[in-house]
Every structure is written in C-alpha cells, then in structure tokens.
Amino acid sequence: MVVSEQTLVTGKQLDTLCVNTIRTLAIDAVQQANSGHPGAPMGLAPVAYCLWQEFLRYDPADPTWLNRDRFVLSNGHASMLLYAMLHLAEVRKVDENQQVLKELSLPMEELKRFRQLGSRTPGHPESHITTGVETTTGPLGQGVGNSLGMAIAGKWLAANFNRPGFDVFNYNVYALCSDGDLMEGIGGEAASLAGHLKLSNLCWIYDHNSITLDGPAEWSFSEDVMTRFVGYGWNVTRVTDANDLEMLARAFDVFLKTTDRPTLIVVDSHIGYGSPNKQDSNASHGEPLGEDEVRRVKQFYGWPEEAKFLVPEGVREHFREGIGKRGRELRAEWSRIFSDYSQKYPELADRLRRMQHRELPEGWDKNLPTFPADAKGVATRESSGKVLNALAQNIPWLIGGSADLATSNKTTLKFEGAGEFQAGKPAGRNLHFGVREHGMGASVNGLVVSGIRAFGATFFNFSDYMRASIRLAALMEIPSIFIFTHDSIGVGEDGPTHQPVEQLGSLRAMPNLVVLRPGDANEVVEAWKIIAQLQHQPAALVLTRQALPTLDRTKYAAASGVAKGAYVLADAPGGKPDVILMATGSELSLCVEAFEKLQGEGISARVVSMPSWEIFERQDAAYKESVLPSSVTARVSVEMAATLGWDRYVGPKGRKIGMTRFGASAPLKDLLKFFGFTADRVVSEARQAIAGS
C-alpha cells in the first residue's frame, strides 16, 4: 500500500497505516535528534497499537481518571513508542494542580524536539515532565518493579474503597518489558512477589527480540523465560509474530480472563522494520538509522520517502473512534457511578480526593507520642515504630512493609484492623516484601504514583540495593518513604558487612532527597511530621539499633527545631560560644555530654543538632548564621560515618570525628572506644579546635 497524506483506507489497511505511522514518527524523531533507539518502537508498534486501541481502559481527555488502566514502558529506551502513542491518542496535558488542560501533552512540535533541552520528550520517559507517562523508566527493571507496586495498589484500593454495587477500582496494569528487564535481578524479584500475591490485574508484555545492545541475546541469555515464569506462578502465553494483531488480541483476552494470577505475554518481535524478513543491525544497537536507511525503510512501508512526521488522513480519527471513544464512554459511566458513590460514601470520596492531591486528612498529627527525659533512653527505631503506628491510624492510606526485617525495623502496623496484605486478602496495610530490597524500592514508588503513601524498610547498609529506586523517586518528585535502621557501627558484632559508613554521604549527594537522622525519640516525632507533609520529595529516615538518651527538653531546646533541619540544642551563656559541637543521630548525646564537661571546665560551647542537612540548606542566610555564626571558627562535627561533606560546616579550622575506614565486629562499647566516639574525645577535639582558631 502506497501512502500519501490524503490516503483513505479502512479495516486492516487502516490498522497497518496506524502501526506504520507509529513507526515512522519514531524513526523521524530519532533521526532528527540524531540520538535514540528506533528499533524497539518499530518492532513493538503493533503491540502498543493493539493494546491501546482495543483494550486499554484509558480516557485521553482525562489522564487523571482514578480507574484508568496503567501502561508502563519498562524498556524506556523505546520512549518514542510511548510518545507516539500519547500524541496519536491525543492525551491532554495536566497542570501541577491536577487540572486537565485543552492543550495536548505531546503536540507534534514536542515529537520534533525529541531528546532536546527543555522538551517533554526526553530520552527516557519522565512522569513529572510528560502527562501520560505513569512512571519514570529507563534503568532496566525499574518499570516492571513499579508495575508491581501499581498492581498491589489496584488490589488494595479495590479492597478498601469498593462497596456493593460500586466498583470504583478494577483497573489493570500493563508493563512492556525487554530482555534486559528480565535479566536484571529486580525483574526477578518483582515477578516472584507478583506471582506469590496472585496479582491477576498485572500483565507483562515481554518483547522477545533476541537482541541486546552488545549483540545477539544468545551471547549472554539462554534461559527458558516462559518456564521460569510458570515457576513464579504466572500464566504464560505466547504471540509468535508481533505483527499479528489478531493473535495479540487473543493474548490480551487471555489476560483479561485470567483471575487467579498475573500474566506474561511473550511476543516474538524483530528489531528494525518490524518484519520477520527485515532486520536492521543499526536499529538493534540503539542508533539512528541514517538518512539512506530511513528512505529504504519508508519505501518498505509504502511511505513517502521525503515526508517527515507524517500522520496520514484518517489516523487521528481512527484513534479518536478507538481509544478516544471507548475511554470517554468508560470514564463517563464510571463518573456516574462515582457521583452516586460520593453521595452515599462522602468520607471515602473525600479520602480519594485527598490521596490524589497528596493532601493529609484532618487531625493527621493527633495523638503522636511524646517521650519523657530518660538517660537510658530508647533506640530511634523503637520510637519511630510508635510514631509510625500513630500516624498510620490517622492516615488510612499510609501502608508499607519491610524486606523481611519488620521486627528489626519496627515497621509492623499493630493497631486493630491494620492486617496483612496477602493473596486473596488485599485489604491489609502490612506489606511483606520478603528479602527483595530492589523490588521493594521500586514497588514503593509504584504504590506512591498510585496515590498511596507507602514506605519500605531495611537495614541502612542495604540501601545500596535500593539506590536506583530512591534516585528515581527523587527524580520523579514523589513522596516515597524509605526507612533505614541499624544506621552505624552501632550494629556491633554483625561487623563491617552490616555497618554503613558511606551511605549517609551518598544519599545526601542525591538531589531532591530529604535525609533525616534524628538524635533522640522526640526528634523522631518531628522527623515524621516533616515526612508526612512532603508532597514532591522522597525521604530517607535513618535510625539506630542501639538505645539513645531521651534528652531533657526542659533543659535543652525543643525538638521542634528539627523543622529547620538544624537548630541550637544547648548554648553558651549569652549565646557566645568558644566552640560549636555538631552532630546527627546517636552522636548527638556525645556532644551534649561533652558540652556539660566543657562547661565544667569554664569553656563556653554550643551544641547544634543537624538531623537534615537538606532542610537546613533551605533556610535563609540569617537563620543559618544564627545557628552557625561565622565568627566562631572552632567547630567539631561528630558522626559515625564518612566525614565527606562536613567541611562546609566545620570550616578550615574545624575538626571532624568520623569514620575513615570500614567498621569492625565487636561489642558496641568496644567499637565506640576503638573508633573514638566518646565524650572525652569530643572534649579533646574541642580544645584543639579552640587552640587552632
């Protein structure tokens, strides 16, 4: 079939025309950018077309519809596939106030700006930039991990909000993934847990194209993926030709009829032209085709060779009559049901509205514990568990769990009605991720982009396993909550394999992440207040295994100072110290003890608690000067971690007590003495700082 801008076709020819429009838009965008991956969009265009045009319950005119099906492009290098679909389906743009605009999310000029500075079409899809992108993908495996969280969210929302005659939630989650997604360990973790939880609303579409960036997949990947997924407890079906729309439709029907497990659809596709008889090596290696090859490809498709970004007549209209019309009718029917639901269950409807806008319920901070002064004190993981349980009772959509360490992380929700999220019992608020830190991090993000405030917890040292997910939460500007306990060499006998040293500095280097390391139980309360109110930033809450003294707040400053990131806890007479002692977390009490000793020696000192550098850096210059006056150059920092970053606070004449090597296996008291985390050491360093200032 030869195409011109006035080509009028129907039936299967129209399907082919639409598929080739998707392909050529991808080809032209990649070629114009001289950067990107044209092969995967070319091979997968029929898959995306069939899913969106015939099955996806999605209204392009309202991308915020609560019960929309979710589509995740886990193989984010194929971003032009998604961008072409968003353009052709005419998905509307949504502003920062969640208002749907008349403007398209991706008008044609944005496709032409693919991979250019400031465009809505970056190299890999970013959800905070482009309406219609459900989650930011690119690092392989993260998207399918997110889809796990989205599917859990769908089951949880249905169990908690649906009422007889009111199916407010029954959406499905589709994730398109590649060999790379399934090679990455996170993909296996997510698949394993999804199968265990029997998430029948989850469908992964595996692009089986036998190609990786290095070359043929057989060089590095020969496992029987289908058998593996059967072992995970998935339903598995196969489409032997990605171009066969009828076979694809049957596979999607199989998914919709499968009610007891997730579904994997293995699609045999061909990188390049999309034809089993044509395969292009450049496309397979993620490079633009080149002008000559572009002309040959378009000739193969019957496309005008010189036309660029061509959308033939009838294509947009076909999408309007397909996904546009179906989505509009489905949403209208849902809106009618939800209107009646809102009248009958106004409290639940208000709850959903708040969730969608990341608002908190009235009284979210009521009945939070306060902790009396106690020299023996309590571990911050213990006090955090108490605060978390109080908050979760006030915020009904705060849910989460641990990577098999809930009893150690103190993250179990224990109040009446909290329950466990399990297959067949999805209303529970305690999630059990098993020993799957990678999958947990990604699924927490998937839960959060679905409107739920979710947390995941593990030992701080294992935050390294979750780093990609933490980073993407920060990039997406979503308020995921990551709880890390056993935060230092205070872990003791478990030794350096479990003792975090470099993790604090590493997370502090991450843009848009709030790191909080509270110094006693009441600082924990204040830290949780900050976390609860976050809307566009994830938080890492870093907590101790060992007990810390609960400071006497009638003697020292109120813990509410945590709200500014750092505050003066104890001060010299007249507010004129000779030396400033700074610390976070468990080391704060060492500075307080040293403060008292120095005071006894007639040395004026100030103690500054610094639980969050990021929040402190947001304060104005006057406040920062009031806490750390530039006139006082004698300063000492104390933290059981790498000292990287403390230079900005101690200055060139200050002293740093920290870790310059990995820890060791020994009882805590021996480790503290060996590594110099004692009040006497702080006093000694303070004297030296004064002498050198």
Give phi and psi for 205, each to the nearest 5. -110, 110
Q: Are strands 605-609 and 579-583 parallel, antiparallel or unpaired?
A: parallel
Alpha-carbon distance 144 to 27, whole Å?
Answer: 26
Contact 250, 263 (CB under 8 A): no
Residue with tokens 């392989």: 140
Type and span of the H or E element at 402: strand 398-402
What backbone phi and psi angles, to 5 degrees, belong to 408? -80, -40
Task: Spell out a b/e string for 386-397, using b for 16 or more CB atoms within 10 Å of the CB, else e.
Answer: bbbbbbbbbbbb
Helix axes 679-692, 588-600, angle to 10 degrees: 60
Taking the C-alpha atoms of residue 183 and residue 185, their distance in angstroms, rounded to an integer, is 6
Contact 641, 490 (CB under 8 A): no
Residue found under tokens 């497990």: 261
Whole-angstrom distance, CA of residue 62 vs CA of residue 102: 10
The DSSP letter of residue 53 is: I
Amino acid identity of residue 638, one-letter, is V
DSSP string, 440-480: HHHHHHHHHTTT-EEEEEEEGGGGGGGHHHHHHHHHHT---
Strands 173-178 and 202-208: parallel
Q: Which amino acid is at 239?
A: V
Helices 380-394 and 521-533, interaxial angle, to 10°? 40
Q: Is 159 exposed, middle or buried (0-12, 13-18, 19+ CB in 10 A)?
A: middle
Query: Could you tell me the sign of the dihedral formed by the alpha carbons of 645, 651, 656, 661, in that order?
Result: positive
In this structure, what token pair is assigned to residue 672? Answer: 């503290």
Helix, strand, or coil here: 297?
A: helix
Q: 74: which DSSP letter?
A: S
Angle of CA points 105, 110, 115, to nearest 5°: 120
Catalytic pick among 189, 382, 437, 593: 437
Is 333 tagged catalytic? no
Question: How deeply is 507 buried, as exposed, middle or buried, from its count of CB atoms within 10 A (0-12, 13-18, 19+)?
Answer: buried
Strands of 80-135, DSSP E: 92-94, 100-104
CA–centroid distance for 615 within its chain: 21
* DSSP E strand boundaries for 161-232: 173-178, 202-208, 211-212, 215-216
- Residues with catalytic roles: 437
